[in-house]
Amino acid sequence: MTALVTGSAGGIGSAIVRKLEREGFEVKGLDLVNGFDVTDPEAWEQVGSVDLACLNAGVLTGSNDIAHLTDDEYRRAVGVNVDGVVYGVRRLDRVMPRGSTIVVTASLAGLVGIPDDPIYGLTKHAVVGFVRSVAEQLAERGIRIQAVCPGWADTGLMPNGFKQELTDRGFRLLRPEDVADGVWAAYESEGTGGAWIVQPGRDPLLYGFKGVPGPR
């Protein structure tokens, strides 16, 4: 069995790689440190078939003040967090075999508001919506797709001082290994288009989206 993991050099990415290797996968890590840019559509055209793809690369803007958000901060977040997923799914849909699975690392910030980084929240809401919306057409070709929505995790992604601020506010941080377990739970599930919540002290949980009222 083969797998790929984007953002594989980061805390969560490396934990996912270790988890998959323990489960018997041959894993290819794709990360800027080894020359792979998820925002580059041409780079994705060089990616071949795998049985499991974990689209995990993501960045924060580090800004909670929309009035002072820079163009570069905004474009980088959208590029990595959204374009990197869309380009990846587009390519993988073309090359993955029937019975394969894509797991996208979204965030709890894709299900609730996040005043600490509104643009991060925007991108993760987009990712969750994309996974839910694209699942049906992927299923027609025998490919499942799931999103994993962890809370804050203790990784190098956090800006300086933010970890301490969260701790002071009473947040319990996930370990990267907890998120990797969530990825595995999503992979082992039978459904598609779901969002799996990962929170400290809980088993990964499939989120139950409430329907919206129809017309009268």
pTM higher than 0.75 = yes
Residue range 2-206 forms a domain whose CATH class is alpha beta
Rounded to the nearest 5°, which phi and psi values hold at 130?
-65, -45
Query: 171 pLDDT band (50/70/90 cuts)?
Result: confident
Q: What is the pLDDT of residues 107-149, one digit of tens each?
A: 999 999 999 899 999 999 999 999 999 999 999 999 999 999 9
Q: What pLDDT score was predicted for residue 63?
A: 86
Hey, where are the domains in the chain? 2-206
Please say if 120 is a catalytic residue: yes
Question: Mean pLDDT across the stretch 156-170?
Answer: 69
Q: What is the pLDDT of residues 10-55, one digit of tens each?
A: 999 999 999 999 999 999 999 999 999 999 999 999 999 999 999 9
- Burial class of residue 168 in the structure, from the number of CB atoms within 10 Å of its CB (0-12 exposed, 13-18 middle, 19+ buried): exposed
Question: Of 87, 120, 187, 207, which is the active-site residue?
Answer: 120
Q: What pLDDT score was predicted for residue 211?
A: 83
d(C-alpha 203, C-alpha 196), whole Å: 10
Tell me the angle at which helices 11-22 and 176-188 cross, rounded to the nearest 10 degrees: 50
Q: What pLDDT score was predicted for residue 160?
A: 62
d(C-alpha 91, C-alpha 141), whole Å: 14
